[in-house]
Amino acid sequence: MAQPRSWLDEVIDAIQSLGGSAHYDAIYQKIYDRQIMDFSTNSSWKSAVRQNIEMFSSDSDAFNGRKDIFYSVEGKGKGVWGIREEYLKKTDLPIPLEVLEKKKDIIKKTTENLTVEQLKSKSEETQTSAPRKRTISTTTYERNIYVSEYTKKRAGGYCQLCHSASPFLDKEGNPYLETHHIVWLSKGGKDTIDNTVALCPNCHRKMHILNLDEDVQKLLTCVHAAMHQ
């Protein structure tokens, strides 16, 4: 079953957050409380946890001979496992954003065949007035503020994809537009004025969700014209 991350990574982080060693029962509870893995479709998830610990421990007969991450704290059969010094992280690692995004995708897939009524009762069953807080980690690119401001000025208050006027003025009274990289930074695009356009929020979202070839071509043509004015 698809999981947002490997059981091994989740087990390491769980034991880590329990202080570096813990009994199986505490490890299960911690992993369950973290609500990152998908438990609904995997009734034998606890055995996946055990298998991963044992496969990655030379203290276990099931050791796979690869990374020797865990050690048996009180000897075999006691169920208390620790993370060896070299695998212990000095600080509690935030959960990578990608892992949470993947989890959302997995859950979203399971909702595809639900009726509106089923979705409603699922919502009522799980909704909470105090949403869970998480510390997450994410890697972003530093963007050049001059490039971005110039790009917006160059657009003159109009979206460079749909050519509509910006939908509202910001607090300073300037037309609100967003800078977009035609070739995404994450795909090796450059943070330069020949790779950036100013878009209205709708078109910006559209580019990130669909990134249609025809739209990319329009933006390239637009930026090319602007560069040769």
Q: Please give the residue ranges that form the binding site for Zn ion (CB under 5 A).
A: 159, 161-162, 180, 200, 203
Residue 184 beta carbon to Zn ion: minimum distance, rounded to whole angstroms: 7
In the complex with Zn ion, the residue whose CB is nearer, 37 or 203, is 203
Q: Which of 31, 13, 23, 153 is nearest to 78 (CA)?
A: 23
Q: Which of 209, 12, 181, 211 is nearest to 99 (CA)?
A: 12
Least spacing, CB of residue 105 vs Zn ion, in Å: 20
Residue 35 vs 217, nearer CB to Zn ion: 217
Q: Which residues contact 103 (CB under 8 A, 6 or more apart)?
A: 4, 36, 38
Q: How far apart, in whole angstroms, are the C-alpha atoms of residue 70 and residue 58?
A: 8
Question: CA 4, 7, 10 angle in degrees (round to 5)?
Answer: 80
**To the nearest whole angstrom, how small is the minimum distance from the Cβ of residue 186 to Zn ion?**
10
Measured from the CB atom, the residue of 13 and 178 that comes closer to Zn ion is: 178
Minimum distance, C-beta of residue 178 to Zn ion, in the bound complex (Å): 7
CB nearer to Zn ion: give 134 or 163: 163
Residue 148 to residue 142: CA distance in whole angstroms = 11
Q: Which is nearer to Zn ion, 162 or 216 (CB)?
A: 162
The structure tokens listed for 12 are 């390491």
Cβ distance to Zn ion smaller for residue 11 or 203: 203
Distance CA 114, CA 108 (A): 10
Measured N-to-C along each axis, helices 24-34 and 45-55 cross at an angle, to the nearest 10 degrees, of 120
Least CB distance to Zn ion at residue 191 (A): 12
- What is the four-CA torsion angle of 13, 15, 16, 22, rounded to 10 degrees? 170
- Return d(Cα 223, Cα 228) in angstroms, integer: 9
Nearer to Zn ion, 15 or 159 (CB): 159
Q: State in angstroms the smallest separation of the CB of 215 from Zn ion.
A: 10
CA-CA distance, 43 to 24, in Å (whole number)?
Answer: 17
Least Cβ distance, residue 197 to Zn ion (angstroms): 9
